[in-house]
Amino acid sequence: MTTEYPLESNSCLPYDLVVILRGAGLAGTERHTIDMVNHLVASGRRLAYVQAGIDLRAWGLNSAPDNLLVIPTSLPMRNLSRTETRAWSRLLKTLPAARVLLVKPWYFNASIPLLRVLRKHYPLVYHIEHSWPPELEKRNSRLHLGFLPGIGLWWYREWWQRWRMSRTADYVLAVSEAARQALLRNALLGETQVVTCPNGTNLDHWMPDKEAGGRFRRRYGIAEGAYLFGSVGRLVPLKGNDLAIRAFARLRQVGLTDAAYCVIGEGPYRPELERLARELDVADAVFFLGQIQDPRDAYSAIDTLLFPSVTGGEDSFPLVLGEAMACGCRVIASPVGGVPEVVGDPVCGDLPSTREPTEWAEVMARHLQTSHEERSRIGTQIRAFVERAHDQRLRLQWLEKVLFSSPSQSSKLRHEIGKD
């Protein structure tokens, strides 16, 4: 049975909101959580943040205010034993609040027992989805032994798991409209359960700085006059960096050699990408720079950001695109997930329709051949677009409004998307 707590933020409860996240690294989900928690605490909300995995205090989470309690835990969120489930229950019982928000970088990153514990202890349960579930496959009519029709038990198990998960949340916050539509299609959620709360860009932090860009190039030995393509993110196959390297090699093959490509990030795919650059004879112009905690200087040095992601499942609303665009970068990106929502205006860049290196190389060539004066003008226009469309302050105010509205108001908020 759900514990009955009053829902008003000025109630006698110790906390207005409990936030739970298991972070694996400093990616978009973790950075968004830092900004969200800092904003809510600065707004006077009383928060308890249950931190499993990475310590976000080392990356900018402001734990100094009196109205924020950070609780590190080593408890898992998936495949819970009964002992672990009871431990979660004991922990959350010490954190009475009007609402709980489970931050989910992946749809299946929390198991049903934990979700039931949340329902037991909190009157309102929110999930914020930074990804979306895989497609729910259609039932097939496979024959066993050549003549016995199957009944598709695997499909019913999958449907049942998603249905149970859909019943554990009062409201699901999707970080893009594309993510919202995917959740409605594949997570068995109702229209009134899902509200779009798009990510935003911190315009005070991400801004162009030509001098910083020049220092960045000199630091890594990148020619001052070279047209610089760049990528920022984890080096895993789904990010598609191999496509970017192949397209860059095509560019060099047709004589456009006044260009370089910097790859910022770490991951298990790095050795394979370095090998590919050597095989294609572009290793002298492809710079693997590793993880950079604050890539502001890099964005100011990069002329065009490449984002060749394979799937939208991990890119519901890629923060890296908004950050680079705020610094005046043009982009060339795969039109997956929430990418078209971020890019938004043709002036910001191009969304190639295929994953053919030749097509990407042709688009990259057009960018490279733009005059310096035109690049400067376009960069100013891109910055202006981000200011209009992706201001983080407005995005976080909207998210706060969704979180702290009354239950009767929450079901109506989805109609106001885009008005705030």
Q: Are residues 49 and 196 in the same domain?
A: yes
In a domain, 6, yes or no: no
Residue 148 lies in a domain: yes
Quick one: 79 and 195 in the same domain? yes
Query: According to DSSP H, which parts of 12-102 are helical?
Result: 28-42, 82-93
216 and 193 inside one domain: no
- Are 192 and 55 found together in one domain? yes
Give pLDDT, residue 142: 60
Classify the phi-psi angles of 38: left when phi > 0, otherwise alpha if psi is within -120 to 50, otherwise beta.
alpha
Work out how many domains the chain is built from and give that number.
Answer: 2
Residue 175 and residue 32 share a domain: yes
* pLDDT tens-place string over residues 306-340: 999 987 556 688 889 999 999 999 999 999 888 99
The pLDDT of residue 135 is 83
Averaged pLDDT, 160-165: 87
* Position 41 in a domain: yes
Which element (helix H / strand E) includes 286? strand 286-290
Domain region containing 322:
210-389
pLDDT recorded at residue 58: 86
List, in order, residues 6 or more apart from 228 with CB less than 8 Å away: 217, 222, 259, 260, 261, 262, 301, 302, 303, 304
310 and 334 Cβ atoms separated by less than 8 Å = yes
Mean pLDDT, the chain, whole residue set: 88
| Inside any domain, residue 4 | no
Give the pLDDT confidence score for residue 145 in this predicted structure.
Answer: 55
**pLDDT over 60 (residue 293):** yes
Confidence at residue 150, expressed as pLDDT on a 0 to 100 scale:
59
pLDDT band at 33 (very low <50, low <70, confident <90, very high): very high
Question: What per-residue confidence (pLDDT) applies to 2?
Answer: 36
Q: What does the CA dihedral 380, 381, 385, 387 come to, rounded to 10 degrees?
A: 20
pLDDT score of 27: 80
Lowest mean pLDDT among 184-188, 268-272, 395-399, 406-410: 406-410
At 159, is the pLDDT very low, low, confident or very high (cuts 50, 70, 90)? confident
What is the model's pLDDT at position 158? 83
Question: Do 268 and 175 lie in a common domain?
Answer: no
- Residue 148's pLDDT is what? 55
| CATH value at residue 236 | 3.40.50.2000
Distance between CA 363 and CA 354 in Å, rounded?
A: 12
1 belongs to a structural domain = no
Local structure of residue 205 (DSSP, 8 states) = T
**Residue 218, pLDDT score:** 95
What is the band of 419 on the pLDDT scale with cuts at 50, 70, 90? Answer: very low
Q: Are residues 22 and 76 in the same domain?
A: yes
Same domain, 188 and 243: no
Element (DSSP H or E) covering residue 50 = strand 47-53
Residue 120 lies in a domain: yes
Q: What is the pLDDT of residues 201-229, one digit of tens each?
A: 999 999 999 999 999 999 999 998 899 99
Radius of gyration of the chain (CA): 23
Per-residue pLDDT, averaged over 140-159, amounts to: 65
Question: Which pLDDT value is given to residue 418?
Answer: 39
Using a pLDDT cut of 70, give the percent of the chain over it. 89
- For the cut 70, the answer to whether the pLDDT of residue 9 exceeds it is no
Q: Residue 85, SS3? A: helix
Residues 175 and 310 in one domain: no
User: Which tens digits make up the pLDDT trace of 119-135?
Assistant: 999 999 999 998 888 88
Is residue 71 in some structural domain? Answer: yes
DSSP one-letter string for 12-24:
SSSEEEEEEEEES
pLDDT of residue 4: 39
* CB proximity list for 31: less than 8 A, separation 6 or greater: 59, 60, 319
**pLDDT above 60 for 411:** no
Is the per-residue pLDDT at 363 higher than 80? yes
Q: Region 239-247: what's the mean pLDDT?
A: 96
Could you give the percent of the chain with pLDDT greater than 90? 65
Phi-psi category of residue 240: left, alpha or beta, with phi > 0 → left and psi -120 to 50 → alpha: left
pLDDT digits (tens, 9 = 90+) for 88-113: 999 999 999 999 999 998 888 888 99
Q: What is the pLDDT of residue 314?
A: 63
Give domain status of residue 7, yes or no: no
Q: What is the mean pLDDT of residues 17-22?
A: 95
Residue 155 confidence (pLDDT): 77
CA distance 335 to 307: 9
What integer pLDDT is reported at residue 165 of this predicted model? 85
